[in-house]
C-alpha cells in the first residue's frame, strides 16, 4: 500500500489523500485512521496531520501505510509605521509578512491588494493590514499611524480678579487657529490674548489647531466680589468734644475729607474737636485687594457752642447772702446745673443758689443740656470785712494791664450811688453810678497829669446802712 497527499491550505480541512494498492483479491476497500472502509481510494476534506491508510481485499486481508498532509498556513503579519505630521498627509505603513504561499499581496482596506508592502500618504489613525497569499489565505493585524502633535497650547496661569475688572488672558501658542470656549465675556474668542470681563468665576479653554493637530488647555479666572463699605450710623456730638468713627467692610480704609481726623487711613479714626457739622466718606479695600464700588458716608452733627455765664466777679461782706444766677446766654435750654465747690451754697444743684461766705471763693457752674452737652463758667467772690467800699490809694494808667483803672471795690453794697473824682482845682474829671466802671486817667480825651486827686463814693449796704467815703488817690505815670 502506498499513499499520496495534497496540502491543506490556510489551516483549513481542504487537503486530500490518495491510496494506491497492488496485489490482493479484488475488490479492494480503503480507510484512513480507522474510519469505515470505502470503495474509493481518495479521501478529501482532510486537515493537516499524519494519517494511517488501510487497504482491505475481498479475503479480509489488510495492508497499511502512513501518509502526512502538510499545512500551507497563512502568513504572519507585522507592521512598522511612520507617524504623520500636523500639516501633511505623510504617515506610512511598511507591512512585514512571514510564511504563507508566495506571491503575497497587501492591503490596508481589505479590498484593494497590491504586491508592494509599503503604504504612504496616510493620515493618522488605525488601519487593518491584510496579507493574502497565493492560496488566497488571509491574515491581518491592526496598526496605528501616529500623529506628531507639536502644537503648543498654554492658557496661562489662573487669575484672581475683582468683580468688574477687565483682564487680558496671557496664553501662549504657535497654532495657526485659536478658539476660546466659552466665548462669553471675551473681547474676541478667536485671538490668542483676548480681554475677559467675567462677572463670576469662569474657566476658559483654548483650542489651538494647526492642520490636523489640536491641543487644549484651560485657565480659571476667579472673580472676587467687591467689598461693601460701611461708615457707621450718623452721630450727634457736643461742640468741642471728640467722637470715634467705626467703619467696617475691609482691611484698608480711606476717609475723606481728612479734616479733624486723627488718621484718615484707619477704620476707627477720632474726629477731634470739630467746629461744625460735616460728612465723611469712606472707601474700603478687602484682603483680595478689591476696592468698594462706592463709598459710604456718615454725618457728624455738631451742636452749637454752648455758653453759660456764672455772673460777674464780685465782692461781698462776711456772711452777706449772695444770690448766684447762671445765665443761659444763647437760650439753648439747659436742664441741669451744678455748682462747685458746694461750700457756702444752700443748694448746688439749681440755677440760682444763695451763697453765704466767710472767705474768698471761686465757684464753677456746669450746665447740661438734655442730650448731655455741657458748658461751664467761673465766678470769683472776694469776701471782705464790711459792708464797706474800698478805694485804692494809687494807680498807674499806662496800659500795661496792671492797675490801669482806678475804681472802688464795694463790699456788701446793694445799691451803688456814685463814684466821683476831682482834680486839684475841684473840677470833676470822672463820675459814674456803675460800680463796675472806673477812671482810666483821661479827661476830655487827654491824659491827666500825675499827681493827687480827690474822690468820693456813696452806696447803700445790704442791711440799709449808708456808706459815704472820700479821700485822695495818686496818679502815677
CATH code, 33: 2.60.40.1080
Determine the Cα–Cα distance for residues 343 and 346; give it in Å rounded to an integer.
9
Provide the number of structural domains found in the chain.
Answer: 6
Q: Which of 148, 167, 200 is the last residue of a domain?
A: 148
* Entry pTM: 0.59
Asked if residue 175 is part of any domain, the answer here is yes
Asked if residue 229 is part of any domain, the answer here is no
Q: Which of 116, 148, 180 is the last residue of a domain?
A: 148
Determine the Cα–Cα distance for residues 184 and 350; give it in Å rounded to an integer.
76
Residues 6 or more apart in contact with residue 224 via CB below 8 angstroms: 160, 161, 162, 163, 286, 288, 290
- In 3D, which of 21, 65, 73 has the Cα closest to residue 47? 73
Same domain, 426 and 457: yes
Same domain, 392 and 470: yes
Same domain, 109 and 123: yes
Asked if residue 230 is part of any domain, the answer here is no
- Domain residues for 93? 76-148
- In 3D, which of 218, 428, 150 has the Cα closest to residue 439? 428
Asked if residue 363 is part of any domain, the answer here is yes
Same domain, 80 and 68: no
Determine the Cα–Cα distance for residues 283 and 294; give it in Å rounded to an integer.
7
CATH number of the domain residue 117 falls in: 2.60.40.10
DSSP string for 268-284: S-EE-S-SS-EEEEEEE
The answer to whether the beta carbons of residues 15 and 6 sit under 8 Å apart is yes
Same domain, 274 and 316: no
Q: Which residues pair with 453 in a beta bridge?
A: 473
| pLDDT values of the chain reduced to their tens digit, one per residue, 477 residues | 888 877 767 777 888 999 999 989 999 999 999 999 999 999 999 888 899 999 999 999 999 999 998 777 788 999 999 999 998 899 999 999 998 888 999 999 999 999 999 999 999 999 999 999 988 889 999 999 999 999 999 999 999 999 999 999 999 999 999 999 999 999 999 999 999 999 999 999 999 999 989 999 999 999 999 999 999 999 999 999 999 999 999 999 999 999 999 999 999 999 999 999 999 999 999 999 999 999 999 999 999 899 999 999 988 899 999 999 999 998 989 999 999 999 999 999 999 999 999 999 999 999 999 989 999 999 999 998 889 999 999 999 999 999 999 999 998 899 999 999 999 999 999 999 999 999 999 999 999 999 999 999 999 999 899 999 999 999 999
Same domain, 106 and 184: no
The answer to whether the beta carbons of residues 280 and 316 sit under 8 Å apart is no
The answer to whether the beta carbons of residues 363 and 352 sit under 8 Å apart is no
Residue 274: alpha-carbon gap to chain centroid: 33
Rg of the chain over Cα atoms, rounded to whole angstroms, equals: 64
Asked if residue 100 is part of any domain, the answer here is yes
Asked if residue 253 is part of any domain, the answer here is yes
Asked if residue 18 is part of any domain, the answer here is yes
Same domain, 181 and 144: no
**Cis omega (within 30 of 0) for bond into 348:** no
Same domain, 296 and 312: no
The answer to whether the beta carbons of residues 280 and 256 sit under 8 Å apart is yes
CATH number of the domain residue 276 falls in: 2.60.40
Asked if residue 61 is part of any domain, the answer here is yes
Q: Which of 224, 252, 270 is the last residue of a domain?
A: 224
Amino acid at each position: 500500500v502506498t499513499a499520496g497527499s495534497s496540502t491543506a491550505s490556510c489551516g483549513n480541512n481542504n487537503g486530500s489523500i490518495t491510496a494506491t494498492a497492488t496485489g490482493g483479491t479484488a475488490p479492494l476497500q480503503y480507510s484512513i485512521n480507522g474510519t469505515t472502509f470505502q470503495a474509493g481510494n481518495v479521501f478529501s476534506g482532510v486537515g493537516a496531520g499524519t494519517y494511517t491508510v488501510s487497504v482491505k481485499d475481498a479475503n479480509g486481508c489488510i495492508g497499511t501505510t502512513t501518509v502526512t498532509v502538510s499545512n500551507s498556513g497563512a502568513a504572519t503579519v507585522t507592521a512598522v509605521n511612520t507617524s504623520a505630521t500636523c500639516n501633511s498627509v505623510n504617515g506610512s505603513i511598511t507591512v512585514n509578512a512571514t510564511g504563507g504561499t508566495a506571491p503575497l499581496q497587501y492591503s490596508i482596506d481589505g479590498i484593494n491588494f497590491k504586491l508592494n508592502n509599503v503604504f504612504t500618504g496616510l493620515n493618522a489613525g488605525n488601519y487593518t493590514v491584510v496579507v493574502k497569499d497565493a492560496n488566497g489565505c488571509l491574515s491581518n493585524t491592526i496598526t496605528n499611524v501616529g500623529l506628531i502633535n507639536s502644537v503648543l497650547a498654554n492658557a496661562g496661569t489662573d487669575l484672581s480678579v475683582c468683580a468688574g475688572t477687565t483682564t487680558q488672558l496671557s496664553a501662549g501658542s504657535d497654532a495657526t487657529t485659536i478658539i476660546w470656549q466659552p466665548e462669553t465675556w471675551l473681547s474676541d474668542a478667536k485671538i490668542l490674548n483676548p480681554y475677559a470681563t467675567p462677572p463670576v468665576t469662569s474657566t476658559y479653554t483654548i483650542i489651538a489647531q494647526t492642520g490636523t493637530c489640536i491641543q487644549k488647555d484651560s485657565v480659571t479666572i476667579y472673580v472676587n466680589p467687591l467689598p461693601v463699605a460701611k461708615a457707621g450710623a450718623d452721630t450727634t456730638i457736643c461742640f468741642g468734644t471728640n467722637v470715634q468713627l467705626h467703619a467696617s467692610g475691609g482691611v484698608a480704609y480711606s476717609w475723606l475729607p481728612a479734616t479733624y481726623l486723627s488718621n484718615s487711613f484707619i477704620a476707627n479714626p477720632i474726629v477731634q474737636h470739630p467746629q461744625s457739622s460735616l460728612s465723611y466718606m469712606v472707601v474700603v479695600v478687602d484682603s483680595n485687594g478689591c476696592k468698594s464700588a462706592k463709598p459710604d458716608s456718615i454725618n457728624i452733627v455738631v451742636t452749637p457752642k454752648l455758653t453759660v455765664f456764672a455772673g460777674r466777679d464780685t465782692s461781698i461782706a462776711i456772711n452777706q447772702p449772695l444770690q448766684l444766677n447762671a445765665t443761659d446766654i444763647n437760650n439753648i435750654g439747659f436742664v441741669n446745673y451744678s455748682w462747685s465747690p458746694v461750700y457756702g451754697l444752700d443748694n448746688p444743684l439749681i440755677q440760682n443758689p444763695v451763697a453765704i461766705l466767710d472767705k474768698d471763693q471761686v465757684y464753677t457752674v456746669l450746665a447740661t443740656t438734655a442730650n448731655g452737652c455741657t458748658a461751664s463758667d467761673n465766678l470769683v467772690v472776694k469776701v471782705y470785712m464790711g459792708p464797706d467800699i474800698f478805694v485804692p490809694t494809687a494807680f498807674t494808667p499806662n496800659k500795661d494791664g496792671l492797675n490801669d483803672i482806678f475804681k472802688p471795690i464795694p463790699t456788701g453794697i446793694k445799691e451803688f450811688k456814685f463814684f466821683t473824682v476831682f482834680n486839684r482845682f475841684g473840677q470833676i474829671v470822672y463820675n459814674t453810678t456803675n460800680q463796675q466802671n472806673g477812671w482810666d486817667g483821661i479827661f476830655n480825651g487827654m491824659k491827666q497829669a500825675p499827681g493827687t486827686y480827690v474822690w468820693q463814693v456813696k452806696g447803700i449796704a445790704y442791711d440799709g446802712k449808708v456808706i459815704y467815703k472820700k479821700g485822695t488817690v495818686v496818679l502815677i505815670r
